[in-house]
């Protein structure tokens, strides 16, 4: 290679050098690391038990009607201790270990077993997740101690009990050493989310949102439950260690294979998509914003929604058994990213915008996993947790300060208001991270790792996915800065929301005064922002976390070293360009010339050919309505049809029919009227007769049925 050319490439490679790609040495077929049983590490169990104790203590506070901030300090204290212990665990970590806590379910004998204990499986993937789950959990609990203070006399203890339940369940999910305990945590975080979304139970919309979240998640949970069954069925275990050993050595019974092994990743995927809000199960997440903002930040942005990503990462070896499933993951992720970004562009509710952006970013993570960049995906989870938490927390400050105002058209110029400066600037940085402003933001690095991979990995349509990812990056930059330019920049102007604050800083029938955040909130915002800055330098560290774990899969490298041959060289430039372009467009429409945005929208609405676009985007592509038709409709209809069937067919046709037969026979029986007792009797006798006829007089049907039933029939 000529020297000058090498210099050019080296200059172009500056991003690669900064990102520390050199640390990732490819090694295509690494063995799955197998954990050892650790002795004398029982103390790690307290990471799990402390949130549980916190739950109980907050529950006691609720029962004793404690009317001060005690529940918050209990929660912050215990969660903080849990975080410190996680740190300690990380510091002394050297290889994957299983820490046995207590026996739970031990069944079976010589021929089969079903063992699910309360044990912890600690590898670097676990630690990566645990560090940000407990760390952010503590910080957000601290934030909530101030944010929720209006409720000190109300549901304060209930709120913190919910947060503690969530952290307990999330810890169980992440640290479980078997799929059953993971399932426990999985359902537990779903329940905590239901609990906390419905926190403002006086709002019907909050209760409806809670119910929606729970039910949509149950659909995904069904997939997870089935997957766990099939794993147990095929591999004879639900414990990770035994499962990975079986996978590593290929010692699982070959005849058990076939469809039942191939189905596992797809079912796991269903569970992951439910929890992580991907197509087609994403509809619950935007509604979940009805919960208090710290909940949105903690559960519905930073931690719980990444449980799906965690599940796929944890079960990566199972996915690799059926590579086509990873392609599905990638495509669903990519499409979700694009769809959610388009919806986010047209929303006016700040929290909803961030909710859709969460869905969109989760789409990126799944895209990364699907395209064999588990490192990129995990790094994006890590960076996203920080900047999305900041975004939600700042949105919470706006809501809190302006009496529940969440419409970005009604608040402007926040950065000029006294007391909101820290909010504005942390939000600016978080928006920059989301938009992927080059070099100085963590989102830039993590997103770039995923987008570049789209042009490296070979898979059906991965190049197209890469293009989709780039388009989405542009849209993301646009909607992120749309929020910031609208809310924080521009002339000062605001309208208060409809919420009537009943705490002491409420105005006395006077002009509305915004309520600026105080110490705890500002502190938390600054700390998490610093964390976000710090995570820029942690790419290599996050990569190592993945390399050590079962999610390790070394991304295929680019073919050549030339500038255009390695996407890791040119992707940063492209990403920077689209990101900055998006910010510029947002700046024009929402800062320099706000009328232009409305004008453009009105122009599009006026033109019949383009009218559908803004309308559909604003109405979220009518997916909710579609689902309502698709699922709720038939269920409701089915129920009523059966009811009618019962009333008219059973009661009228059979009852009357049976009444008529004896009359025709001239037996002299009195005609049977619709006496309820006897219509039951007729139904019962009819049922017995039908079953008898079916079983004894219709051998073909019986044969067909028993074939269909499977089993040992």
Number of helices and strands in the chain (H, E): 30, 5
- Is there binding between residue 690 and other proteins (CB under 8 A)? yes
- Regarding 637 and contact with other proteins (CB under 8 A), the answer is no
Q: Give the contact letters, 80-119, x = binds to other proteins (CB under 8 A), - = no.
A: -----------------------xxxxx---xx-x-----
681 binds other proteins (CB under 8 A): yes
Query: Does 66 engage in binding with other proteins (CB under 8 A)?
Result: no
- What is the length of the chain? 713
Q: Please, which residue, 161 or 329, has the CB nearer to other proteins? A: 161
Identify which of 356, 387, 358, 361 has the alpha carbon closest to the alpha carbon of residue 376.
361
Q: Which two tokens stand for residue 691?
A: 């079953």
Q: Judged by CB under 8 A, does residue 563 bind other proteins?
A: no
Query: Cα–Cα distance between 369 and 356 in angstroms, integer?
Result: 20
Q: Which of 137, 676, 693, 700 binds other proteins (CB under 8 A)?
A: 676
Q: Say how far apart CA 13 and CA 583 lie, in whole Å.
A: 25
Does 648 participate in binding other proteins (rule CB under 8 A)? no
Q: Which is nearer to other proteins, 257 or 507 (CB)?
A: 257
Tell me the CA end-to-end span of the chain in Å, nearest whole number.
Answer: 72
Angle formed at CA 349 by CA 348 and CA 352, multiple of 5 degrees: 115
- For other proteins, the closer of residues 228 and 393 by Cβ is 228
Residue 102, Cβ neighbours under 10 Å: how many? Answer: 9
DSSP per position, 619-630: TGGGHHHHHIII
As beta bridge partners, residue 349 has 407
Least spacing, CB of residue 624 vs other proteins, in Å:
18
Does 670 sit near other proteins (CB under 8 A)? yes
Asked whether the beta carbons of 563 and 12 are under 8 A apart, the reply is yes
Closer CB to other proteins, residue 220 or residue 443? 220
* Sole residue written with tokens 């050297």: 94
The answer to whether the beta carbons of residues 202 and 151 sit under 8 Å apart is no
- Pick out residues in 303-342 that bind other proteins (CB under 8 A): none
Candidates 22, 40, 509, 696: give the one binding other proteins (CB under 8 A): 696
Residues in contact with other proteins, shown as a per-residue x/- string from 113 to 142 under the rule CB under 8 A = -x----------------------------
Question: Least Å distance between CB 413 and other proteins?
Answer: 38
List Cα–Cα distances, 566 to 281, 438, 560, in angstroms: 35, 19, 6
Write down the least CB distance from residue 261 to other proteins, Å.
Answer: 14
Instruction: Give the sheet arrangement for strand 97-108, strand by strand.
Output: 36-37, 97-108, 113-122
Output Rg (C-alpha) for the chain, integer angstroms. 29
- State which of residues 201, 537, 622, 648 lies at the interface with other proteins (CB under 8 A): 201
Q: What's the closest the beta carbon of residue 154 comes to other proteins, in angstroms?
A: 11
With CB under 8 A as the contact rule, which of the stretches 22-30, 326-334, 379-387, 636-644 interacts with other proteins?
Answer: 636-644
Q: Is 638 in the site for other proteins (CB under 8 A)?
A: yes
DSSP 8-state assignment for residue 408: T
Tell me which residues in 206-245 interact with other proteins (CB under 8 A). 207, 210-211, 214-215, 218-219, 221-222, 225-226, 229, 232-233
682, two tokens: 């007729």
Among residues 8, 530, 649, 705, the one that binds other proteins under rule CB under 8 A = 705
Q: Does 697 bind other proteins (CB under 8 A)?
A: no
Examine residue 274 and tell whether it contacts other proteins (CB under 8 A): no
**Smallest distance, Å, CB 17 to other proteins?**
48
Q: Give per-residue burial for 594-625: e unless 16+ CB within 10 Å, then b.
A: beebeeeeeeeeeeeeeeeebeebeebeebee
- Check residue 652 for interaction with other proteins (CB under 8 A): no
- Taking CB under 8 A as the criterion, the residue among 323, 460, 657, 692 binding other proteins is 692
Stretch that binds other proteins, among 39-47, 71-79, 205-213, 586-594 (CB under 8 A): 205-213
CA nearest neighbour of 430 among 347, 349, 517, 350 = 350
Where are the extended beta strands (E) located within 574-689? none
Nearer to other proteins, 599 or 638 (CB): 638
622 or 680: whose CB is closer to other proteins?
Answer: 680
Q: Given the rule CB under 8 A, which of 249-257, 298-306, 371-379, 678-686 is the region that contacts other proteins?
A: 678-686
**Which residues contact residue 659 at a Cβ distance below 8 angstroms, ignoring those fewer than 6 apart?**
669, 671, 672
CA 702 – CA 700 distance, rounded (Å): 5
Residues β-bridged to residue 100 = 119
Query: How many residues sit close enough to other proteins to count as binding (CB under 8 A)?
Result: 79
Q: Which of 537, 622, 648, 680 binds other proteins (CB under 8 A)?
A: 680
Q: Please, what is the minimum distance in Å from the beta carbon of residue 30 to other proteins?
A: 33
Binding other proteins (rule: CB under 8 A), the pick from 202, 259, 606, 609 is: 202
Q: How far apart are CA 105 and CA 251, in angstroms?
A: 24
Instruction: Give the nearest distance from C-beta 618 to other proteins in angstroms.
Output: 29
Q: CA 586, 591, 597, 598 torsion: positive or negative?
A: positive
């Amino acid at each position: 290679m000529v020297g000058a050319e090498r210099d050019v490439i080296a200059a172009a490679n500056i991003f690669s050098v900064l990102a520390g790609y050199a640390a990732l040495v490819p090694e295509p077929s690494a063995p799955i690391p197998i954990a050892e049983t650790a002795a004398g590490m029982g103390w790690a169990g307290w990471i799990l038990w402390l949130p549980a104790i916190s739950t109980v203590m907050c529950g006691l506070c609720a029962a004793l009607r404690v009317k001060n901030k005690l529940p918050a300090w209990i929660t912050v204290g215990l969660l903080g201790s849990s975080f410190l212990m996680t740190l300690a665990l990380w510091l002394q970590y050297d290889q994957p270990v299983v820490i046995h806590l207590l026996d739970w379910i031990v069944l079976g004998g010589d021929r089969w077993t079903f063992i699910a204990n309360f044990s912890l499986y600690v590898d670097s993937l676990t630690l990566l997740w645990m560090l940000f789950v407990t760390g952010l959990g503590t910080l957000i609990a601290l934030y909530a101690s101030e944010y929720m203070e209006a409720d000190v006399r109300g549901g304060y203890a209930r709120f913190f009990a919910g947060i503690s339940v969530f952290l307990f369940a999330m810890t169980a999910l992440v640290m479980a050493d078997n799929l059953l305990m993971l399932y426990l945590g999985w359902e537990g975080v779903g329940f905590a989310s239901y609990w906390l979304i419905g926190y403002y139970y006086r709002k019907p919309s909050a209760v409806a949102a809670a119910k929606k979240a729970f039910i949509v998640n149950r659909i995904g949970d069904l997939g997870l439950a089935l997957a766990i069954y099939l794993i147990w069925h095929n591999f004879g275990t639900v414990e990770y260690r035994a499962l990975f050993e079986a996978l590593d050595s290929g010692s699982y019974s070959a005849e058990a294979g076939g469809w039942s092994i191939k189905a596992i990743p797809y079912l796991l995927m269903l569970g992951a998509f439910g929890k992580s809000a991907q197509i087609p199960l994403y509809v619950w997440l935007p509604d979940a914003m009805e919960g208090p903002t710290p909940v949105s930040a903690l559960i519905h942005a930073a931690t719980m929604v990444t449980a799906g990503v965690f599940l796929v990462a944890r079960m990566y070896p199972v996915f690799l058994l059926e590579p086509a499933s990873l392609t599905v993951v990638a495509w669903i992720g990519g499409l979700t990213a694009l769809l959610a970004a388009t919806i986010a562009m047209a929303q006016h509710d700040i929290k909803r915008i961030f909710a859709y952006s969460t869905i969109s970013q989760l789409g990126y993570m799944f895209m990364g996993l699907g395209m064999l960049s588990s490192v990129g995906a995990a790094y994006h989870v890590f960076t996203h947790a920080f900047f999305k938490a900041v975004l939600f927390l700042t949105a919470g400050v706006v809501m809190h300060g302006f009496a529940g105002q969440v419409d970005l058209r009604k608040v402007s110029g926040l950065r000029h208001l006294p007391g909101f400066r820290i909010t504005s600037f942390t939000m600016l940085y978080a928006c920059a991270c989301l938009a992927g402003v080059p070099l100085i933001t963590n989102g830039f690095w993590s997103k770039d790792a995923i987008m570049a991979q789209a042009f490296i990995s070979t898979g059906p349509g991965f190049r197209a996915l890469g293009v989709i990812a780039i388009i989405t990056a542009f849209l993301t930059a646009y909607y992120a800065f749309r929020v910031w330019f609208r809310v924080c920049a521009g002339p000062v102007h605001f309208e208060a929301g409809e919420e009537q604050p009943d705490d002491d800083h409420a105005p006395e029938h006077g002009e509305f005064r915004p309520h600026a955040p105080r110490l705890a909130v500002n502190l938390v915002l600054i700390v998490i922002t610093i964390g976000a800055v710090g995570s820029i330098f942690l790419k290599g560290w996050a990569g190592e976390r993945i390399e050590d774990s079962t999610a390790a899969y070394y991304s295929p490298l680019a073919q050549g070293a030339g500038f255009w041959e390695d996407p890791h060289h040119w992707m940063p430039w492209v990403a920077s360009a689209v990101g900055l372009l998006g910010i510029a467009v947002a700046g024009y429409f929402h800062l320099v010339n706000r009328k232009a945005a409305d004008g453009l929208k009105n122009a599009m609405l006026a033109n019949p050919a383009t009218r559908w676009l803004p309308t559909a985007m604003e109405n979220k592509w009518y997916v909710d309505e579609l689902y309502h038709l698709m699922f709720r409709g038939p269920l409701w209809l089915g129920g009523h049809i059966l009811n009618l069937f019962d009333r008219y067919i059973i009661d009228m046709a059979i009852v009357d029919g049976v009444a008529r037969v004896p009359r025709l026979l001239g037996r002299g029986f009195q005609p049977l009227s619709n006496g309820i007792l006897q219509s039951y009797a007729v139904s019962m006798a009819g049922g017995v007769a039908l079953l008898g006829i079916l079983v004894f007089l219709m051998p073909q049907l019986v044969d067909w049925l028993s074939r269909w039933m499977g089993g040992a029939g």
